[in-house]
């Protein structure tokens, strides 16, 4: 974190918090009540708690705003879809950067879509975040704080808490590996936010060494890999990162991941009219994935300012899905639930910048 900014309490794991209390001569047993205040009560004002033991209250008074901060994220804009189920938050960070978090309140599967970076270095041509370039990595505290904001929002709405998390907001999560994994360990802690690792999905554009690292470290989260093209020429034209780690290498890494973890991979495919949405593309994709334990998730292009591409009709997406299913793969089409709230990642911020 930059000089002068206190480290966020949200970025500390439970064991790090215990160690910190111990170091400051506070019995680490008090970590439990602080943790409960942060993640069960979603407390924003720790200084006003009356249930803390005197040593913990003194520690909070001495450290909060000095060594540790709890500055939440500032909600700059809150836009909801017409059915009031999809909520898109534009959140301001301490350095005036902005990120987006989407909360989807659909019965039984409340989900938040988190950002992992401000901007993104990967430059995928159709992506609003890619078009703005890389600004900086988010800290683990900033990633956890998005989940806290999501929980607060659902609580205000009288809705049950989040069940699922997807790292499909702004940024490439595996480019910010350590902070993302630290954040996921914190949000899945059973005594805190308690979002099960098997309900968390990390989506990557295909950073091969990081995929292998996730497998090797036996990270318990699901993996989604954005494919979008079924040969190197077509994929590189959309995702420049393919020049660094071409398809064959990427799919080899995916096979290692599947073999090591025993989990399938969800392959994302953004459908762009006339580019990668024909039944022939679908057949070739089916052949490419042959032998891989895969699920295919289709996303119809969300138009962005900087990309001259068209969203295919629903019928084209349905036909594509049917071919993939005939090839033996489960295949779903991601609904454009937030389309009326500037749905695609980075789009709300991009709209703001144009004003």
The residue ranges that bind ligand SAH (CB under 6 A) are 124, 126-127, 168, 172, 203-205, 226, 268, 270, 299, 301-302, 304, 344-345
Residue 35's contacts (CB-CB under 8 Å, 6 or more residues apart) are 14, 17, 189, 191, 192
Cβ 223 to ligand SF4, closest distance in Å?
14
Contact between 18 and ligand SF4 by CB under 6 A: the answer reads no
Cβ 355 to ligand SAH, closest distance in Å?
20
User: Between vectors from CA 266 to CA 168 and to CA 171, what angle results, nearest 5°?
Assistant: 20
Which runs of consecutive H residues, i.e. helices, occur in 40-95?
Answer: 54-63
For ligand SAH, the closer of residues 268 and 286 by Cβ is 268
Tell me the chain's radius of gyration from C-alpha atoms.
21
The one catalytic residue among 18, 80, 100, 172: 100
Cβ 119 to ligand SAH, closest distance in Å?
11
SS3 content of the chain, % helix, strand, coil (to 5): 40, 20, 40
For ligand SAH, the closer of residues 56 and 224 by Cβ is 224
Q: Where are the beta strands (DSSP E) in the chain?
A: 7-8, 68-69, 74-80, 86-92, 98-104, 111-113, 117-119, 134-137, 164-167, 200-204, 222-226, 265-271, 294-300, 331-334
Q: Which of 69, 141, 171, 309 binds ligand SF4 (CB under 6 A)?
A: 171
Cβ 178 to ligand SF4, closest distance in Å?
18
Query: Is 100 tagged catalytic?
Result: yes
CA distance 90 to 100: 5
Q: Which of 172, 235, 296, 350 binds ligand SF4 (CB under 6 A)?
A: 172
Q: Phi-psi region for residue 320, left (φ > 0), alpha (ψ -120 to 50) or beta? A: alpha
Residue 186-215 contact track with ligand SF4, rule CB under 6 A, x = bound: -------------------x----------
Which neighbouring-strand residues pair with 77?
90
Tell me which stretch binds ligand SF4 (CB under 6 A): 46-54, 126-134, 277-285, 297-305.
126-134
Tell me which stretch binds ligand SF4 (CB under 6 A): 63-71, 73-81, 120-128, 315-323.
120-128
Backbone angles phi, psi at 243, to 5 degrees: -70, -30
Contact between 124 and ligand SF4 by CB under 6 A: the answer reads yes
Identify whether the C-beta of residue 306 lies closer than 8 Å to the C-beta of residue 351: no
The one catalytic residue among 127, 254, 331, 345: 345
For ligand SF4, the closer of residues 120 and 327 by Cβ is 120
Which neighbouring-strand residues pair with 51?
none
Q: Which of 56, 103, 118, 120 binds ligand SF4 (CB under 6 A)?
A: 120
Q: Point out which residues bind ligand SF4 (CB under 6 A).
A: 120, 122-124, 127, 129-130, 171-172, 205, 345
List active site positions: 100, 345
């Amino acid at each position: 974190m930059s000089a002068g900014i206190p480290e966020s309490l949200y970025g500390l794991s439970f064991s790090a918090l215990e160690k910190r209390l111990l170091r400051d001569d506070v019995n680490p047993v008090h970590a439990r009540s602080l943790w409960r205040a942060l993640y069960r009560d979603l407390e924003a004002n720790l200084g006003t708690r009356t249930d803390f033991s005197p040593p913990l209250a003194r520690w909070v008074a001495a450290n909060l705003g000095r060594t540790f901060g709890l500055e939440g994220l500032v909600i700059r804009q809150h836009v909801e879809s017409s059915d009031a189920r999809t909520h898109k938050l534009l959140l301001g960070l301490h350095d005036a950067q902005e990120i987006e978090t989407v909360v989807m309140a659909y019965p039984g599967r409340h989900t938040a879509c988190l950002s992992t970076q401000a901007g993104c270095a990967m430059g995928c041509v159709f992506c609003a975040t890619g078009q703005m370039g890389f600004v900086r990595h988010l800290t683990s505290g900033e990633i956890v704080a998005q989940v806290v904001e999501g929980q607060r929002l659902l609580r205000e709405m009288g809705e049950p808490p989040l069940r699922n998390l997807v790292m499909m907001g702004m940024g490439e999560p595996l480019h910010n590996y350590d902070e993302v994994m630290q954040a996921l360990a914190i949000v899945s802690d059973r005594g805190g936010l308690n979002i099960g690792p098997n309900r968390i999905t990390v989506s990557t554009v295909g950073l091969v060494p990081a995929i292998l690292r996730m497998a090797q470290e036996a990270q318990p989260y699901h993996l989604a890999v954005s494919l979008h093209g079924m040969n190197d020429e077509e994929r590189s034209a959309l995702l420049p990162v393919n020049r660094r780690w071409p398809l064959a290498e990427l799919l080899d890494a995916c096979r290692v991941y599947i073999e090591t973890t025993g989990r399938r991979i969800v392959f994302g495919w953004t459908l762009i009219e006339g580019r990668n949405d024909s039944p022939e593309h679908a057949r070739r994709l089916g052949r490419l994935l042959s032998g891989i334990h895969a699920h295919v998730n289709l996303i119809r292009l969300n138009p962005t300012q900087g990309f001259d591409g068209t969203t295919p009709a629903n019928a084209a997406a349905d036909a594509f899905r049917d071919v993939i299913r005939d090839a033996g793969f489960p295949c779903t089409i991601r609904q454009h639930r937030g389309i009326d709230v500037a749905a695609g990642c980075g789009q709300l911020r991009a709209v703001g910048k144009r004003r």
